[in-house]
Structure 1
Amino acid sequence: MLTIWGRFDSSNVQALLWAVSELELPFRRFDIGERFGGTDTPGFRAMNPNGTIPVLRDGDGPALWETGAILRYLATRYAPESFWPSEPVARANVDRWAEWAKINVTLGFTGPVFWRVWRTPAKQRDPAAIAAAITALTKKLAIAETQLSAHRFLTGDTLTLADIQFGHILYRYYMIPIDRPDLPCLRAYFERLTERPAYQNHVMVSFDALRDQCPTP
């Protein structure tokens, strides 16, 4: 049994829950972080000295933190070849797109766009900064558009770890009120993700509680 610590509307936790559900792994989860508190307790800091979520424990194993590391652990231990290949070159291909998505898309969207548009009160928003961030993000999404013009998923015709790292932010990307470019292959890819029960259950969830709730540094 997997135990997961992290609030349901954290995008990093959502990526983990989506992957766990795609792999059909049993789990229990505790709401931890921000309005739920709990990350500054001695017990939690003993598991993760950074005080961040998610944290995962597999049975009686050690506590694991950092979403990418957790995902690779679960994929290595539990995933089929189609999700996380064992052949080194094939695995590196999936892993490079997963890293690309995390560094270029997730980080380029979550703070620069989502936090500024959704989590920052209207009077404090910086329209010029938001526009610049969307422009920068669009250049990265155009790379995905090209890739997805040849594949149903990011690295081929089946869902892989790369899609977890990339696709989990697309629900918020398409739901928040921003100007979006016409990227038809990306939109079709997103719509394919929305047909997956695991995506529906763990990514397509309300983030209204985060509105205008930018945490104090």
Structure 2
Amino acid sequence: MLTILGKSSSINVRKVLWTCAEIGIPFELTEFGSGTPNPVTTPEFMALNPNAMVPVIQHEGQTLWESNSICRYLATRFQRFDLLPQEAMARAQIEKWMDWQATELNNSWRYAFMATVRHSPAHRDAAALEHGVREWNRHMQILDQQLQGTGAYVNGSEFSLADIVLGLSLNRWRSAPIAHADLPALTSYFDRLCERPGFLQYGANGIP
């Protein structure tokens, strides 16, 4: 049995949950609350992931952390090569967008999200917020341009792991109370993703 450690409200945990839904993997979720002490800082959890972050999975006697790596592992382990191909270039094209999500896109939304959704006292600078919103929209325009070219999913006509990680990012952008750029391809893409039960359960479920 696959065990997932993490909060079901976490965007990174939801990547793994949606991947499990797409593949049909049974799992047991150990739900982490917001108790004191924070469960991710306990010695037991730190022994699993020294970064003190979720998700962490335990499967077949092994432990793995980093959400995108977990999604790659699950697709490969269960031979869902439609989600992540075996051929080197085809796989790299999908992983390229997954890595872009984890680095460039994530960094672009951090300040604006913390200010407008999390209401963080440390993110109250108006100029920094304006810059953050602008950068978030600029990165979403990159995704919109890609989808204009494919006409369907991030990497082409077929759904892949790239759509799981970026679909959740799109949901976060749409949910944030900011001035959104007018990006019609992203609107069509979101509607397309809403046809998938896994996205409705773990993506477009009211949680940014």
- Say whether the fold is shared (TM-score over 0.5): yes
Superposed structure 1 runs of 4+ greater than 6 Å apart: none
Q: 1:179 & 1:93 partners in 2: Cα distance?
A: 31
Corresponding residue of 1:129: 128
CA positional deviation for 1:124:
6.1
CA root-mean-square deviation: 2.0
Listed one character per residue, the Cα deviations across residues 98-142 of structure 1 (whole Å, up to 9, x for unaligned) are 111221223322x22211111125896333222211211222222
CA contact (8 A) 2:167 2:203 kept: no
TM-score normalized with structure 2 length: 0.90
Corresponding residue of 1:72: 72
Q: 1:129 & 1:8 partners in 2: Cα distance?
A: 30
Listed one character per residue, the Cα deviations across residues 71-101 of structure 1 (whole Å, up to 9, x for unaligned) are 1111211142221110111111111111112
One-letter amino acid of the structure 2 residue matched with residue 126 of structure 1:
D
Written as runs of structure 1 = structure 2, the 5 A alignment for 1:137-216 is: 137-151=136-150, 152-207=152-207
Unaligned runs of 5+ in 2: none
Unaligned runs of 5+ in 1: 209-217
Change (3 A) 1:123 1:93: closer
Q: 1:22 & 1:149 partners in 2: Cα distance?
A: 25
Q: 2:195 & 2:55 partners in 1: Cα distance?
A: 25
Partner-residue secondary structure (3-state), 2:28 = strand
Change (3 A) 1:3 1:123: closer
Q: 2:79 & 2:126 partners in 1: Cα distance?
A: 42
Q: 1:35 & 1:157 partners in 2: Cα distance?
A: 44
CA positional deviation for 1:35:
4.6
Listed one character per residue, the Cα deviations across residues 160-195 of structure 1 (whole Å, up to 9, x for unaligned) are 111122111222211221100110001111121122
Residues 1:15 and 2:15 are matched in the alignment: yes
Q: 1:169 & 1:3 partners in 2: Cα distance?
A: 24
Q: 2:115 & 2:41 partners in 1: Cα distance?
A: 26
Identity of aligned residues (%): 34
Written as runs of structure 1 = structure 2, the 5 A alignment for 1:109-124 is: 109=109, 111-120=110-119
Corresponding residue of 1:95: 95
TM-score normalized with structure 1 length: 0.87
Q: Which has the higher contact order (CA 8 A, sep 6+)?
A: 1
Q: 1:175 & 1:112 partners in 2: Cα distance?
A: 15
Change (3 A) 1:177 1:24: same
One-letter amino acid of the structure 2 residue matched with residue 17 of structure 1:
L
Corresponding residue of 1:104: 104
Corresponding residue of 2:86: 86
